[in-house]
Amino acid sequence: MRAFPSDIQTAAGEPLKIPHMGWNGVQLKNFHPLLEGICAEDEFYFVHGFYPEPADATCVLGVTDYGLAFASILAVENLFATQFHAEKSGRPGLRMLQNFCNWKP
């Protein structure tokens, strides 16, 4: 895990607050059964000051931009992890939780 830099900025040079708190999108990189029904325009609720840096990029299913691009959805075998709070992410988060309940790894 890495901490967001204290001087993190948008591409336009505007400072960003740490922790990253609020709604943000996820760019989906690979498919997984838990992502069934998740659309490119869906947003999720984040509250975090750290982000993962996986050694194996093949486990990254989704990336989010908050001053830098970071892995926000990871999966390895029967392990699935998100950097956002699915339970607080409205319809798309509930869809992921429903997919989890129906998943047969």
CATH of domain 2-89: 3.40.50.880
Instruction: Give me the mean pLDDT over the 91-95 stretch.
Output: 97
Q: Using DSSP, state whether 46 is helix, strand or coil.
A: strand
User: What pTM value is reported for the model?
Assistant: 0.93
pLDDT at 4: 96
Domain ranges in the chain are 2-89
Distance CA 57, CA 35 (A): 18
pLDDT at 70: 97
* HSE, side-chain direction, 13 A CA sphere, residue 45: 10
What pLDDT digit, counting tens, does each position of 17-33 carry?
999 999 999 999 999 99
Band the pLDDT of 65: cuts 50, 70, 90: very high
pLDDT at 105: 81
Res. 71: pLDDT tops 90: yes
